[in-house]
Structure 1
Amino acid sequence: MDSEIDYEVVFKALVAPLLLLTPDFVVVAANDSYLKVTGRRRADLLGRHFFTVFPGNPNALNDPDMQGADCLRASLERVVATGERDTMALQRYDIEASGSPGAFEERYWSTINMPILGPDGEVKLIIHRSEEVTGFLQLLRRSGEHGLISARAEVEALEADVYVRARELQDLNERLQQAQRQQRQTASALRETIERERRFVFDASHDLRNPITGLLTELEVALSGPDTGLQQILRKLLRGAERLDDIVADLLELARLDTAAPAATEPVDLGRLVVEELERRTLTTTVLARLDQQVVVHASRIRLARLLANLLANAERHTTTVIEIIVTTAPPDAVLEVIDDGPGIAPADRERVFERLCRLEDACHRDPGGSGLGLPIAREIAESHGGHLYAADHPTGARFVLRLPLAA
């Protein structure tokens, strides 16, 4: 053909009543058939929200058989959410009589809503096709009125059965749509889990290879000549072995947390736990502790000690001069804070630091051997005890806040 098709002319001339809606249900086009069946002008519809033009019968609020507006809105929302066509069962959807605001006419419709997808796969427009079947139902009623009593009863029964079956079909359609959504969500969550585990295995393997490569290199150097300083090499090997031990311990702790194996709990005084941890560790910076007395929680002492150790190790890597530890209460919670005066954490990164193997640029610079597992382990320990660990605002440096339920 020499001339291009004028799709606007074709759309207007189609026999089926059609509307074009945006994803937020604003009318952008209406063909002549739709205008005729609804008794509206094009100017009454274009640029206006569908449910503003056709608000539905307010007298239908308490009648389950007259909820056509709600059903139509649900259908349109499914089309936008899924990008798939949605066929509605027979619906009663009364509309205002043209030129008589507030006067509603009983109308029945058979409706199909179809998406128009853009290049990105998102819904750009919705084709709303709605065939009116009010005349058919009225014909059934008239046939019953002019026939024998038995015929009228049969027609009324048929009409009622058609309507009931239509409602059943609508309910079934909605249940199927819900099942499909749940299936898609489950499949998406499964894919994300598999991808997350794949990345975790890859990154953990990479972190293990670094100290192993260092150990092998030092052993090769030691074997290459008799003049090599044995003590210096042994010290390097010891540091590499300690690094490997730390990574393996982190992986084992994550495995325990992932299996959700319950740990034995006991009353733990958070202030006393901090004192014990500080006595056990040899820190390279000043620590200021403000510890309230009798701040007791029910928890695994070993796991809480691991959580505190990870927070202290993180603070020690990033602080400039001092680390501050605070233990207090904010009923119903016990609160433990570890604060450093280092460069701090940007607001956009405060959740990222709790992702497994996530290491920010500054952390990589300060401690190239870090694994990115310490903070994720600390948060998972907190959550396993019904608490929460998060990075909070602070004028200088980073501030990590642990909240756990106070013991009764």
Structure 2
Amino acid sequence: MRSKIDYEAVFRTAPALSAVLTPTLVIVAVNDAFLEVSGHRREELLGRDLFDVFPPNPAAPEDSEQQGAQMLRTSLEQVMTARRRDFMPLQRYDVEVADRPGVFEERYWSTVNTPVLGSHGEVRCILLICEEVTDFVRALRRSGAACEQDSLALQLQTLNDQLRRAHREQRETTSALSEAIERQRRLVQDASHDLRNPIAGLLTELQVALSDPGIDLQEILRKLLRDAERLNDIVTDLLALARVDSETRESERLIELAEFVGEELDRRPPGTPVLSRLDPHVCVRASVIRMARLLGNLLTNAERHAHTKIEVVVTADPPDAVLEVLDDGLGIPPEDRERVFERRYRREEARVRDPGGSGLGLSIAREIAQEHGGRLYAAEHYGGARFVLRLPLATERYR
């Protein structure tokens, strides 16, 4: 007959220091070895944040204790994100004496953090297991007079440095992965939000056309065309945003800005008059497709706000090439000059003039500028708005 295993008893009596943490790093269980080494009672630990119970030693060398605390926190966050076990390099992490607040004992640890997953793959808790190696480190120090032990200590330090570098690289990779996941989440959110209204408009017009046999089909078709154009504009913006967020770089080449801007202005449909002052021989190294999107978004924004005219200027201001788009609308208050570049932020004037806008155009334009090593910002301008793009001037080596 198979006997039932008492897993709680196994955990409690395990020789390695063990603790169970919630995803928010609150201690919910510790074993006897953990209590013995930490010097705390169980009730002093349960329900408390791990780093509140074991704070970094403020008197320890900055490159040891502070780094150890940061490495532990990063490892736990990485376990949450990747949902995989993480083996930490040997590290110093001093422990506060239980009955002497502010007094720390120097300790060294080898730690493994393991996620415990739920039925849907979510991290339900984290199992932290430590092996204390303080005595081993001290033994190496005491035997420092012997060359063999010095060599061993040096090898241990070298190995530990290598592990720290690997841990740092892994942390950077995890951070990049988290950022990519966040960009993807925002893209899906933007898409669902911005596509909802024009799709609802299309459905409404189609339902009206089907239910009323005497409807003016030409008028319905004109409304449907406007909604379809709005959908196309939003999808174009979202695709541009996806290209920027995924960091997929298209081929870049030398662009003569005056020629490029002139061609783009010729392609635009009739609308608000556009005046241009384009200095020749101002060159940048960039993607033609993305630069066209950047300029198109600035012109569309200017068209939305201009009263009578838009102006486009190209000049050289070494080490930058400068492209400016100005309009004679109401302008942008100083407090909003950064906010207009936030995704989906739209000032009241823009919502009134163009209720179906996505609020992504300026955000996309700025991200394209940054991708090419440049800056896009709203500058002070009397009698309207002024957007300034600065990109590095292309040098002779690009020609």
Q: Same fold (TM over 0.5)?
A: yes
Shift of the 172–345 alpha-carbon distance from structure 1 to 2, 3 Å rule, reads farther
5 Å matches for 1:93-132? 113-114=94-95, 127-129=104-106
Secondary structure at 1:293's aligned position in 2?
coil
CA distance in 2, matches of 1:88, 1:303: 47
Shift of the 345–114 alpha-carbon distance from structure 1 to 2, 3 Å rule, reads farther
CA shift at 1:186, angstroms?
2.6
5 Å matches for 1:330-341? 330-340=317-327, 341=329
The 10-residue stretch of structure 1 (182-191 or 294-303) with the greater mean CA deviation from structure 2? 294-303
The reply to whether residue 311 of structure 1 matches residue 311 of structure 2 is: no
Shift of the 265–345 alpha-carbon distance from structure 1 to 2, 3 Å rule, reads farther
Shift of the 228–296 alpha-carbon distance from structure 1 to 2, 3 Å rule, reads same
CA distance in 2, matches of 1:360, 1:238: 24
5 Å matches for 1:168-207? 168-207=155-194
The reply to whether residue 344 of structure 1 matches residue 306 of structure 2 is: no
Secondary structure at 1:369's aligned position in 2?
coil
- Of 213, 216, 239, 2:226 maps to 239
CA distance in 2, matches of 1:324, 1:287: 5
Which letter does structure 2 place at the counterpart of 1:198? R
- Of 341, 350, 357, 1:370 maps to 357
The reply to whether residue 325 of structure 1 matches residue 312 of structure 2 is: yes
CA shift at 1:212, angstroms?
1.7
CA distance in 2, matches of 1:213, 1:316: 26
Which letter does structure 1 place at the counterpart of 2:104? I
- Of 260, 277, 280, 1:273 maps to 260
Count of residue pairs brought into register by the alignment: 298
> Does the 8 A contact of 2:95 with 2:105 survive in 1?
yes
CA shift at 1:241, angstroms?
1.0
- Unpaired stretches in structure 1, ≥5 consecutive residues: 1-9, 12-20, 27-49, 51-71, 90-110, 117-123, 142-155
Shift of the 218–136 alpha-carbon distance from structure 1 to 2, 3 Å rule, reads closer
> Does the 8 A contact of 1:113 with 1:126 survive in 2?
no
- Unpaired stretches in structure 2, ≥5 consecutive residues: 1-38, 41-53, 76-87, 108-133
CA shift at 1:208, angstroms?
2.1
- Of 34, 37, 58, 1:25 maps to 58
CA distance in 2, matches of 1:353, 1:226: 45
CA shift at 1:395, angstroms?
4.5
Shift of the 348–375 alpha-carbon distance from structure 1 to 2, 3 Å rule, reads closer
Shift of the 181–242 alpha-carbon distance from structure 1 to 2, 3 Å rule, reads same
Secondary structure at 1:403's aligned position in 2?
strand
CA offsets, 1:230-265, max 9 Å, x none? 222121111011112222333444455546353363
CA offsets, 1:200-254, max 9 Å, x none? 1232133223212211110111121233232221211110111122223334444
Secondary structure at 2:106's aligned position in 1?
strand
The reply to whether residue 388 of structure 1 matches residue 374 of structure 2 is: yes
> Does the 8 A contact of 2:254 with 2:283 survive in 1?
no
The reply to whether residue 293 of structure 1 matches residue 276 of structure 2 is: no
CA offsets, 1:39-87, max 9 Å, x none? xxxxxxxxxxx7xxxxxxxxxxxxxxxxxxxxx3311221342456999
CA distance in 1, matches of 2:362, 2:231: 18
- Of 251, 259, 262, 1:263 maps to 251
- Give the equivalent residue in structure 1 for 2:63: 74
- Give the equivalent residue in structure 1 for 2:12: none
Which letter does structure 1 place at the counterpart of 2:95? M
CA offsets, 1:162-208, max 9 Å, x none? 33323332333343334334333432332332132023123213322
Which letter does structure 2 place at the counterpart of 1:390? L
The reply to whether residue 162 of structure 1 matches residue 134 of structure 2 is: no
> Does the 8 A contact of 1:218 with 1:233 survive in 2?
yes
CA distance in 2, matches of 1:193, 1:262: 19
- Give the equivalent residue in structure 2 for 1:151: none
CA distance in 2, matches of 1:210, 1:185: 39
TM-score by length of 1: 0.59
Which letter does structure 2 place at the counterpart of 1:372? G
Shift of the 200–139 alpha-carbon distance from structure 1 to 2, 3 Å rule, reads closer
Shift of the 113–196 alpha-carbon distance from structure 1 to 2, 3 Å rule, reads same
CA offsets, 1:130-188, max 9 Å, x none? 8999x9999989xxxxxxxxxxxxxx6xx333333233323333433343343334323
Which letter does structure 1 place at the counterpart of 2:296? A
- Give the equivalent residue in structure 2 for 1:213: 200
The 10-residue stretch of structure 1 (232-241 or 124-133) with the greater mean CA deviation from structure 2? 124-133
Identity over aligned residues, as a percent?
49
Which letter does structure 1 place at the counterpart of 2:374? H
> Does the 8 A contact of 1:393 with 1:399 survive in 2?
yes
CA shift at 1:302, angstroms?
4.8
CA distance in 2, matches of 1:126, 1:193: 42
CA distance in 2, matches of 1:312, 1:194: 31
CA shift at 1:406, angstroms?
3.4
Shift of the 76–366 alpha-carbon distance from structure 1 to 2, 3 Å rule, reads farther
